[in-house]
Chain A
């Protein structure tokens, strides 16, 4: 077999949607009443029908879709770029000119298609044909491609030569006008699919994905699997969009005061004012947390656990309740899940000794079924062996300890102590105002210099130019 660039599952590949749309438009252009006006192309002796001018195409697009001149020209360009229409005067220049330069439609076989990408064998045959016709006078890059292909698919080179000769002989059977059209079509196709170096490649097929079983046997087994798969997909749980949108709105309302972009952040946004108080006040080891942060812990258990300070507070609370081992166990399980693979066996061992073995120092209360399953799994420890136990403990904490924590004195005191930071006062004195921009590009600096000539007071000019010089 040749080096087959056509993917083995060529049937399953989908045509790009934009190409399908373009095809539909091309077909609608063929309408005898509403389609494009076509003329004849005169070449010395032969007359070839079905040519149209660039301006015809643009006008038709404007009339049909009621769009502006510019947009019609742009869409027309796309047609030429993707090879649905090709120019007759300057074939190598794939642009649409809105004047009377002639164009013609491409035959469906040569339409751009992601389902049928051009193969190397085809290109080799085309180059061989061109070589024969031009008696060896190929263009530079074509010569290079030819030699490269000769090396790459050398084993079918005989076939390439044979097929090239035969295709030329077959085309000789047609009359002259058709032969000319055939050659122009083929040339246009290859100019689009194998563009000369230096021009843009119009289509990106994406990386080749070669599946393991390339040819699927369409037998009873296959269809049984398909039916099963579809049945499971049908039975999937679906939430009505009204319900899920409601909860989405609730979520947004709840979190809106906490969002720095929507609500602004106090004391001030560090990215704008260069003042890092905000980060300092919300760091892990701060004595007094901000009110927003403490409020956030009451939204969900995960929020509490994700905040290191929250986790510490919760641990203190659990110690008072004598159930701190739950949180420690949960943390240890997280460590196993997210840690290094090589250390997993020893970590799991530690966890077992500390939390799970009968008579352990910090024994956690897991129901018997989960315990049995976990102990079974410990014989062959892997990353997720403690998942069931961890989930059990997590839900235990969430249902039991967490609501009590939120009602506890500890939490309420912390909430009362929490501070609301003061917004930094914008200093009136102009030289104190530090209005730095985050991206100090020279273009921006020169532009601000220009803009300030139009409006704004002289103070901002001074401060801006000051910062620009500093940058």
Chain B
């Protein structure tokens, strides 16, 4: 169905936007490298493909006059999601151009900001491109060459957004979100628990780290307790049987 297709495409675009932002944050810092610039380029291109695909799909759906009111409301909601995603993407592209220009890689004295991030962003890029491993094949001057392409792409995106505004008449304020406040807390089991211990470390107060430790202690105590129970149960069984 049109709606499901749209939703999956939007999800994909959303994922790529999030990954792109993550990559742009690493730009100019010590995680910056040749590979990062290439990752940015690839992610960007993928984002643009998805954007164009989304746009054509949604415009055809919205132009169709023969859809029901509910359908139309749903498509308008998807449209608003799409435009918000594009906004984020546009800002990130412009910023990556600016930061990329300020921090060129092929200069004798390279002064990247030492932010403490030293790992590579390969996995993030792989997630964005939906591949297992990233292949790097760009040449050494990617940072300058890519910037020119980036400028043209930004102009393209600008133009696309203008056209979108003109062609599709959707009133964003009339759209009602399906999720209410705090909706992200539900169904986020995978994301929530494992990171809690990690995050508490960078907060203030050493007592936070103590909390993490007592958590560990609790787990240990639990394991020991169950082990003791098991042993007691087995011994009891043996005693009863013998």
Residue positions of A touching B, CB distance < 8 A: 1-2, 4, 6, 10-11, 26-28, 30-31, 38, 41, 43-44, 48-51, 88-92, 104-110, 115-116, 119, 121-122, 128, 131-136, 146-147, 150, 154-159, 161-185, 187, 215
- The answer to whether B116 touches A183 (Cβ under 8 A) is no
Which of A28, A180, A187 has most B Cβ within 10 Å?
A180
Judging by beta carbons under 8 Å apart, are A108 and B124 in contact? no
Known A154-B176, A157-B179, A215-B162; judge A44-B119 contact (CB<8 A). Answer: no
Q: How far is the CB of A15 from chain B (nearest CB, A)?
A: 10
Q: What are 22 A-B residue pairs whose CB atoms fall within 8 Å in the complex?
A: A1-B172, A11-B94, A30-B114, A88-B202, A91-B203, A105-B116, A107-B27, A107-B28, A109-B28, A116-B95, A131-B184, A131-B185, A132-B188, A133-B196, A150-B180, A159-B14, A163-B17, A167-B22, A170-B19, A171-B124, A174-B124, A185-B25
Q: In the complex, what's the smallest C-beta–C-beta distance from B92 to chain A, in angstroms? A: 9
State whether A44 touches B196 (Cβ < 8 A): no
List chain A residues, Cβ under 8 A from B181: 146-147, 150, 157
Q: B18 touching A169 by the CB < 8 A rule?
A: yes
Binds A, one of B63-71, B80-88, B140-148, B224-232: B80-88
- Give A105 Cβ to nearest chain B Cβ, in Å: 5
Are the CB atoms of B198 and A132 closer together than 8 Å?
no
Q: How many A-B contacts are there with CB distance less than 8 Å?
A: 215
Contact B29 A2 (CB under 8 A): no
Interface code B173-207, partner A: CB below 8 Å = 1, 0 otherwise? 11111111111110010011001101101111000
A172 partner, pick from B165, B180, B191, beta carbons under 8 A:
B191
Question: A109-B27, A173-B123 are contacts. A167–B21 as well, Cβ < 8 Å?
Answer: yes
| Bound-complex Cα distance A162 to B185 (A) | 12
Which of B45-53, B54-62, B105-113, B234-242 contacts its partner? B105-113
Closest Cβ–Cβ distance, residue A186 to chain B (whole Å) = 8
Q: Known contacts A44-B201, A109-B28, A162-B81; is A104 also within 8 Å of B182 by CB?
A: no
Give the 4 A-B residue pairs with the shortest CB-CB distance, closest first.
A108-B28, A157-B177, A166-B18, A173-B123
By the criterion CB–CB under 8 Å, are B173 and A155 in contact? yes
Bound together, the chains give a CA A167 to CA B22 distance in angstroms of: 7
Q: Please state if B177 and A154 are interface contacts (CB–CB under 8 Å).
A: yes
Q: Establish whether residues A161 and B184, one from each chain, have CB atoms under 8 Å apart when the complex forms.
A: yes
- Best-buried of B18, B31, B87 by chain A (most CB within 10 Å): B18
Q: A168 near B191 (CB under 8 angstroms)?
A: yes
The answer on a CB contact under 8 Å between B116 and A104 is yes
The CA of A470 and the CA of B69, in the complex, are separated in Å by: 81
Q: Are A132 and B119 also in contact (CB < 8 A) when A30-B114, A170-B127 are?
A: no
Interface centre among B84, B172, B179, B204 (most CB of A within 10 A): B84
Question: In the docked arrangement, what's the CA distance between A156 and B15, Å?
Answer: 16
Q: Is B36 an interface residue (CB 8 A)?
A: no
Point out residues on B near A: beta carbons under 8 Å. 11, 14-15, 17-19, 21-22, 24-31, 77, 80-81, 83-85, 87-88, 91, 94-95, 98-99, 102-103, 109, 111-119, 121, 123-124, 126-128, 158, 162, 165, 172-185, 188, 191-192, 195-196, 198-199, 201-204, 209, 212
Within 8 Å CB of B158, what residues of A? 215
A108–B101 CA distance with the chains assembled, in angstroms: 12
Query: Once the chains bind, are B178 and A158 in contact (CB under 8 Å)?
Result: yes
Contact present for B117 and A156 (CB under 8 Å): no
B121 in contact with A174 (CB, 8 Å): yes
Looking at the complex, which one of A30, A134, A147, A173 makes contact with B127 (CB distance below 8 Å)?
A173
A49-B118, A172-B195, A180-B202 known; A159-B27 Cβ under 8 A: no
- CB pair B202–A187 under 8 Å, yes or no, is yes
Give the residues in chain B near A185, CB-CB below 8 Å.
25, 115
Q: Decide yes or no: A155 and B80 within 8 Å by CB, A108-B28, A150-B181 being known contacts.
A: yes
Q: Are A27 and B111 in touch, CB under 8 angstroms?
A: yes
Q: Report the minimal beta-carbon distance from A446 to chain B, rounded to whole angstroms.
A: 44
Q: How far is the CA of A182 from the CA of B99 in the complex (A)?
A: 18
Nearest Cβ on chain B to A148's Cβ, whole angstroms = 10
The answer to whether B177 touches A180 (Cβ under 8 A) is no
Q: Write the chain A residue with the least CB distance to B20.
A: A170
Residues of B within 8 A of A133 (CB): 191-192, 195-196, 199
Q: Nearest Cβ distance between residue B177 and chain A, in whole angstroms?
A: 4
Beta-carbon contact of A50 and B177 below 8 Å = no
Residue in contact with A174 in the complex, picked from B103, B119, B209, CB distance below 8 Å? B119
Could you tell me if B14 and A163 are in contact, using CB atoms closer than 8 angstroms? Answer: yes
- Tell me the smallest distance from the CB of B152 to a CB of chain A, in Å: 12
A142 to chain B, nearest CB (A): 13
**Which of B80, B183, B192, B201 makes the CB contact (< 8 A) with A180?**
B201
Question: A108 CA to B22 CA in the complex, in Å?
Answer: 13
- Whether B17 pairs with A105 at a CB distance below 8 angstroms is no
Contacts of A136 in B (CB 8 A): 182, 185
Q: Which residues of A contact B98 (CB under 8 A)?
A: 115
